Amino acid sequence: MSECGFFMECIFLKIPSVDMVTIECLNEADLFHELYQVTGPLSEGGFGTIYSGFRRDDNFPIAIKQVKSHNTRRRAVWLNGNMTSVPSEVGLLIEVGAFFADNLVTPEIVDWYEVSDQIIIVLERPDPCMDLVDYVNSMDEVMTEEEAKLIFRQLVDAALHIRACNVFHRDIKPENILIETGHPKPRARFIDFGCGIRCDPDEILTEAQGTDIYLPPEYYMKYRYMPDSTTVWQLGLVLYGMLNLRRAFASVETICSSYEPPISAELTLSKKQIQNPSPNTILRFYLDCSYIETHRHRIVSVALCSLCNGLT
């Protein structure tokens, strides 16, 4: 199915009503302010603005994403016995399990509103937390491979879950990875599904979405890309940034040039065995292969090498 086919797509989900907040489409700003207190801006970009705040009745910390509603794709979602038209990002969050607290993919979606020409999405805001950029910069020393592996394993698990839901994030980058620091070990989850779509993992896409420097080389060379290979590519760039404190590529032009990432001698045989792998195989190889138990964080570097040299 083409991307256009998802402009008004029907999915059917029954959301449990016990201990959960039912999503409702509300047009009254007064109700939002009655339930929630906005405390200040967290970030701003082309997508809109994200604010911090809390739920008034229990001081539950929240993040409030506010975006313009024009040109926003919509989806018809079956919620608690009613067919409801929702913004695409809301539908994607529901489908990957964001209605459930402590899901492994993304912070919980608490509520959403449509007020005038604005869409307001209320999300859980773990406290304390920060994005991966700030987390890496806050460390006294360069992140060790063990520390990177701990975070990266969580990201791969989450990516596989998203894939199983036939959802494609399309904009995986350090700024869109939330790190919770209030646990004994850091907890990593994806945020900002604003560029995401629902599609088959092997579907060919042609519309550029996301961040230019994180788009895969096949888009710039062939003006097309696929969900699986793009996800592997973007995860590889995230891993590179964690371990090297800089982006893998300085510009779009350098993305298409030949690139050979450093790969340990222990991976030489593995690389030969997967010269033309499917990206999903790479992700599962990362999780399951005992041969590289101590080098699991490097497997996406193999994918990077393969993708950069046109082997996908």
Catalytic residues: 171
How far, in Å, CA of 109 to CA of 21, rounded? 9
| Amino acid at residue number 217 | P
* 31: Cα separation from own chain's centroid: 30
Q: Are 190 and 169 in contact (CB under 8 A)?
A: yes
How far, in Å, CA of 25 to CA of 114, rounded? 6
How far, in Å, CA of 271 to CA of 284, rounded? 15
Structure tokens, 32: 């939002």
Cβ burial 233-250 (10 Å sphere, 16+ → b, else e): bbbbbbbbbbbeeeebbe
> What kind and span of H or E run contains 44?
strand 36-45
First to last CA, the chain: 21
